């Protein structure tokens, strides 16, 4: 399934959830290629006029498929729902805290069919745990001439100055290779 089709289907699911639980549709729903370390994100707005934003990672969708992305959407919807449930609270931090990973959140997340990571769910909700994660890829690898020392980094750009990267064994300056060159 391509990203456009997935966004349509996930958008329809989100509309259905909003209608079912009588909460406003978020200001924005999107698949995002920039989410590379998390499956999804609910971003609340401190403004009483804005309803927040739900984002699902394209990378997560590509790695784990539509069903896993739909479970993540349900998880993010649980945050959205609780944030609006407590809209009577004027203190934004308190309202945001109540929409976090509380026991009420976990129960509602399970009710709507969402998944939680294993560290968050605890024993009570262990059967609703998800072990699908977005794994970061290393972009650069630094190697010394003797081959004894190797380090990897997630940095997206090349370092122009490598003087501070020296081998602990032979003390030569490291060379860098881009991810595509790594075998």
Q: Are residues 22 and 56 in the same domain?
A: yes
User: How many angstroms separate the CA atoms of 19 and 15, rounded?
Assistant: 6
Range of the domain at 159: 140-181
- Residue-wise pLDDT for 132-148, tens only, equals 777 666 666 667 767 66
In a domain, 85, yes or no: yes
Give the total number of structural domains in the chain.
Answer: 2
User: How many angstroms separate the CA atoms of 13 and 117, rounded?
Assistant: 21
- Residue-wise pLDDT for 111-134, tens only, equals 999 999 888 888 888 888 887 777
In a domain, 148, yes or no: yes
In a domain, 135, yes or no: no
Q: Are residues 164 and 124 in the same domain?
A: no
Q: What would the DSSP string read from start to end of 49-73?
A: T---EEEEEHHHHHHHHHHHHHHHH
Q: Are residues 87 and 158 in the same domain?
A: no
Q: Choose one of 105, 130, 155: the last residue of a domain.
A: 130
Q: Are residues 170 and 126 in the same domain?
A: no
Strands (E) located in 50-171: 53-57, 116-117, 129-130, 140-143, 150-153
CA angle 132, 134, 140 (to 5 degrees): 145
CA angle 55, 27, 43 (to 5 degrees): 45
> What is this structure's pTM?
0.74
Q: Are residues 112 and 38 in the same domain?
A: yes
In a domain, 173, yes or no: yes
Q: Are residues 106 and 145 in the same domain?
A: no
Q: Are residues 122 and 145 in the same domain?
A: no
Q: Are residues 108 and 126 in the same domain?
A: yes
User: How many angstroms separate the CA atoms of 173 and 165, rounded?
Assistant: 6
Residue 87 belongs to a domain with what CATH number?
A: 3.30.2010
Q: Are residues 145 and 124 in the same domain?
A: no
Q: What is the mean pLDDT of each run of 10 residues along the chain (183 residues)?
A: 93 96 94 88 80 92 93 95 88 87 93 89 85 68 66 56 66 66 38
């Amino acid at each position: 399934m391509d990203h456009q089709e997935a966004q349509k289907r996930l958008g329809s699911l989100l509309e259905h959830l909003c209608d079912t639980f009588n909460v406003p549709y978020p200001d924005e729903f999107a698949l995002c290629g920039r989410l590379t370390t998390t499956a999804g994100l609910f971003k609340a707005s401190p403004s009483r006029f804005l309803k927040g934003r739900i984002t699902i990672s394209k990378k997560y969708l590509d790695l784990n498929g539509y069903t896993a992305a739909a479970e993540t959407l349900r998880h993010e919807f649980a945050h959205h729902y609780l944030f609006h449930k407590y809209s009577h609270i004027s203190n934004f931090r308190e309202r945001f805290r109540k929409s976090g990973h509380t026991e009420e959140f976990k129960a509602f997340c399970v009710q709507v069919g969402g998944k939680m990571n294993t560290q968050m769910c605890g024993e009570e909700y262990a059967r609703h745990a998800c072990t699908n994660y977005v794994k970061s890829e290393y972009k650069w690898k630094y190697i010394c001439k003797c081959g004894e020392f190797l380090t990897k980094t997630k940095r997206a750009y090349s370092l122009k100055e490598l003087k501070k990267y020296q081998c602990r064994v032979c003390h030569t300056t490291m060379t860098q290779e881009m991810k595509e060159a790594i075998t």
